[in-house]
Chains A and B, each alone.
Chain A
Amino acid sequence: MPDAGASRFRRMRDLPSSHMLGAGTAMCAGCGGLAALTEAYDVLGENTVFVNAAGCMSLMSVYPFTPFRGSWLYTAMASAPAGAQGVRDALDVLRARGRITVQEDLQVVVLTGDGAAGGMGLSATSGAIDRGLDFIYFCYDNEGYGNTGQQTSALTPHAAATATDAGNSGFPGWKKDLFALWAANKPAYAATIIGGEPLDLVRKIEKARSFSGPRMILALSPCPTGWGYDPKLSIEIAHLAVKTGIWPLKEYIDGRVSHTRMPHPRLPVEEYLKPQGRFAHLFEPRRNEAALREIQAGVDAYWAPWEAQREA
């Protein structure tokens, strides 16, 4: 648990009862990315400027409407972190020159999908980390290029069928570890979250806010449209992602990675895979034991050292 003691969010009933983010956006029903953003925005507050990379969320603000009480700047697919750099630097210049007050300052938050984050936006992200940019990098990870119809991205998991890996074995590669990429470069803070675990989520956003420098939030974002399941299953899929250990909830602070949840006992990965259309080929017309074993082995290998530590 991220320091429950220090947090103003101690239990579920501490969570905000109404949300700051307006309803009625163009997002799909059951969008896990929207759920994570909605919960996070309550903590980020309206003195936030979102600097957005092209993706599903770019269609949240469509002239003349916006669901955001704070500010918004759409950039392009590859350079949202550079947009954040420009806004942050400009605000710093204005502060230094006494042209704005502390109260007029803003928290700068990049809002990006995983496709941009792990692909063409990686160069701009890397640059922002190198420069120690004071910003929050919020990536909703729907494990594909969602806005364009769920093609394979760098963060697509092994064996998932996508619009470009529609064959009966799905994506042959492995999900890029964006969290590790960040952690290896000593950010001020990095955490994984999921909308289905709101208490864990808000504590991490609260913690991210308390730091300055490059901070990363990676939200696994169950996506009914791209993953092929009924929107009403979104929360359950999120819970299964955590309980099977597929989606470790963790954070990086001061050179150390720690888990805020240790699923114990871990459920078999199948339980997470089975309800999702993108993995249907692993079960029908016949079970693909080899692939299922391989995925389970990957998850087991991830947890082995952490579980050993816990037992020790």
Chain B
Amino acid sequence: MRRELMTGNAAAAWGARLARADYLPAFPITPQTEIIETVAQWIDAGEMNCRMVMMESEHSMITAAGAAAATGVRVFTATSSQGLLYGMEMLYTVAGWRAPFVMANVSRGLAAPITLEPDHNDILAARDSGFLQIHCATCQEVLDASLIAYRVAEDARVRLPVIVNLDGFYLSFTREPVDIPSQDEVDAFVPPFDAGPTRFRAGKPMSQAVAVLGGTPYSYFRYETHLAARAALEVYAEATDAFERQFGRRYGALDAYRCDDADIIFVMMGSFATKAKDAVNKLRAIGERVGLLRPILLRPFPDTAIRQLLAGKKAVAVIDQNISMGMGGVLHGEVSAALNGSKDAPPVLASFVGGLGGRDISAEEFFEIAAETRRAAENGETPPPRLLFTESELREIRKLQAIAHVEHGSDEAEGNRNGEGEERHA
């Protein structure tokens, strides 16, 4: 083992390298590109024995990844935002093939308007695809989750692809110290991929992904995929136990921080949860009993664990870094479903949306969220959902609109001025 400063992107590349990925179909997109460039350099330098191929789109990339996994090799790939959506048809398709492989998604907000900065609408669009999802908050987690992901994906009880999610910029481009486990240790943890009889070989004809006629076989195979995803809860628990024995780092399906004696809990995913953690520490310092619950697994959804952890709490504030238009925060809905019908569920489950397109969530905002949630707990009424935005931000926008308005009068339509024009390396 050695320790190095590295970005989240490099950590994802290390995951692929240490897992001895055989094959990597690729397509560039900011802020993911560094992953494939890193692997390309290792291949060139003879440090990694992997076949990498540049595809012409993410739709093709995910098709090739699934097809190679269905042929029996270990596959890694990576994408982000627009790329994930461009490949969406194939996410569902290759998951239906039960093709196990690992894909890093570097979360970035979706167009329009176009942005390069992170939020979770991209990854949540893949929520129902059949890919399992592991959400990371640190660079170390990115590396570790990639290894754990192979164990889970390739397990005969699961056989599903897994997305390891890391936030664009906040993780992808941020350097943190990361322990790089030795190859021997990783080899012991991630044995070679055994595709079993489901693969293509001459002399052993095999039809995969064939059509079905009618709802009965269709339902059967869809249920089977769902049950495999549910079985992944246990397989993940086994894999993380084994990981802890091998490497000494413990991961659960949830990361619960100072939750035991807390009466108010923040629920948040991804790297922005580290901001929530800071806020929890500051609130604790002034005597507020606040904790943070961070789902690491989003699919399968660890509903039982969430129910147990939140049982008896006074109030919960779910802070969603995504927005489902016309509904609100997606995670809020998921947590709410998990708590539904449980006897000692917290009486207040408040919803906050923030951090869209990389917008910061300040410590003051976390304090305000905590205060509002506590007020709600006291009067027993869940407040209406809040979209985080400050007065000063609104003033800033008004200024921009004034400029756009002047330009509009003299020149082009305002619509063309907003939202368009990606940066050069997008």
Chain A contacts to B: CB under 8 angstroms:
46-47, 49, 51, 58-59, 61-63, 66, 68-76, 78-79, 81-87, 89-94, 97, 99-100, 103-106, 123-124, 126-127, 130-131
As a 0/1 sequence over residues 25 to 68 of chain B, the CB contacts with chain A under 8 angstroms (1 = contact) are 10000000000000000000000000101111101110111111
**What B residues does A72 contact at CB under 8 A?**
206-208, 210
CA–CA, A51 and B68, complex, Å: 12
Any chain A CB within 8 A of the CB of B212? yes
Give the contacting residue for A71; candidates B22, B54, B206; CB below 8 A: B206
As a 0/1 sequence over residues 204 to 218 of chain B, the CB contacts with chain A under 8 angstroms (1 = contact) are 111111111100010
**What B residues does A71 contact at CB under 8 A?**
200, 205-208
CA–CA, A66 and B202, complex, Å: 17
**What B residues does A73 contact at CB under 8 A?**
67, 70, 97, 200, 207-209
**What B residues does A97 contact at CB under 8 A?**
22
Q: A61-B211, A123-B56, A126-B56 are in contact. List 17 more A-B contacts (CB 8 A).
A: A47-B202, A47-B203, A49-B200, A73-B208, A75-B63, A75-B209, A76-B63, A76-B90, A84-B67, A86-B67, A87-B70, A92-B51, A93-B23, A93-B73, A103-B202, A104-B201, A124-B63
What are 8 sample pairs from A and B whose C-beta atoms fall under 8 A apart? Answer: A59-B211, A71-B206, A73-B208, A75-B67, A83-B64, A85-B60, A86-B67, A124-B57
**What A residues does B61 contact at CB under 8 A?**
82
Q: With both chains docked as a complex, state the minimum distance between the C-beta of B72 and any C-beta of chain A, in angstroms.
A: 7
Give the contacting residue for A85; candidates B53, B90, B200; CB below 8 A: B53
- Contact, CB under 8 Å: A100 / B201: yes
- Contact, CB under 8 Å: B60 / A79: yes
- Contact, CB under 8 Å: A83 / B56: no
- Contact, CB under 8 Å: B73 / A90: yes
**What B residues does A91 contact at CB under 8 A?**
71, 200
Q: With both chains docked as a complex, state the minimum distance between the C-beta of A219 and any C-beta of chain B, in angstroms.
A: 22
- Contact, CB under 8 Å: A90 / B203: no
As a 0/1 sequence over residues 68 to 98 of chain B, the CB contacts with chain A under 8 angstroms (1 = contact) are 1111110000000000000001100100010
Give the contacting residue for A123; candidates B60, B65, B208; CB below 8 A: B60
**What B residues does A104 contact at CB under 8 A?**
201-204
- Contact, CB under 8 Å: B67 / A124: no
Count of residues in B whose CB is under 8 Å from the partner chain: 42
Nearest 6 pairs of A and B residues by beta carbon: A86-B67, A127-B56, A82-B60, A90-B71, A86-B64, A90-B68
Q: With both chains docked as a complex, state the minimum distance between the C-beta of B322 and any C-beta of chain A, in angstroms.
A: 27
**What B residues does A86 contact at CB under 8 A?**
23, 25, 63-71
Q: With both chains docked as a complex, state the minimum distance between the C-beta of A48 and any C-beta of chain B, in angstroms.
A: 9
**What A residues does B209 contact at CB under 8 A?**
73-75
**What B residues does A75 contact at CB under 8 A?**
63, 67, 93, 209
Give the contacting residue for B63; candidates A66, A83, A90, A103; CB below 8 A: A83
CA–CA, A263 and B72, complex, Å: 48
Q: With both chains docked as a complex, state the minimum distance between the C-beta of A65 and any C-beta of chain B, in angstroms.
A: 9
Q: Known contacts A62-B211, A74-B210, A90-B23; is A85 also within 8 Å of B203 by CB?
A: no
- Contact, CB under 8 Å: B55 / A85: yes
Give the contacting residue for B71; candidates A58, A87, A130; CB below 8 A: A87
**What B residues does A83 contact at CB under 8 A?**
63-64, 66-67
Give the contacting residue for B51; candidates A46, A51, A93; CB below 8 A: A93
- Contact, CB under 8 Å: B200 / A124: no
CA–CA, A69 and B205, complex, Å: 7
**What B residues does A106 contact at CB under 8 A?**
200-202
- Contact, CB under 8 Å: A85 / B64: yes
CA–CA, A85 and B93, complex, Å: 16
Q: Name the residue on B nearest A80 (C-beta).
A: B63
Interface residues of B in 366-414 (CB under 8 A from A): none
CA–CA, A241 and B56, complex, Å: 36
Interface residues of B in 8-30 (CB under 8 A from A): 22-23, 25
Q: Name the residue on B nearest A66 (C-beta).
A: B207
- Contact, CB under 8 Å: A62 / B213: yes
**What A residues does B55 contact at CB under 8 A?**
82, 85, 127
- Contact, CB under 8 Å: A79 / B59: yes
Q: Name the residue on B nearest A107 (C-beta).
A: B202
**What A residues does B204 contact at CB under 8 A?**
104
- Contact, CB under 8 Å: B67 / A94: no
Q: Name the residue on B nearest A102 (C-beta).
A: B202
Q: Which of B23, B70, B89, B210 counts the most A-chain CB atoms under 10 A from its CB?
A: B210
CA–CA, A99 and B69, complex, Å: 14
CA–CA, A195 and B23, complex, Å: 38
CA–CA, A180 and B197, complex, Å: 41
**What B residues does A89 contact at CB under 8 A?**
23, 25, 51, 53, 64, 68
Q: Known contacts A78-B59, A127-B60; is A105 also within 8 Å of B202 by CB?
A: yes
Q: Name the residue on A nearest B74 (C-beta).
A: A93
Q: With both chains docked as a complex, state the minimum distance between the C-beta of A133 and any C-beta of chain B, in angstroms.
A: 9
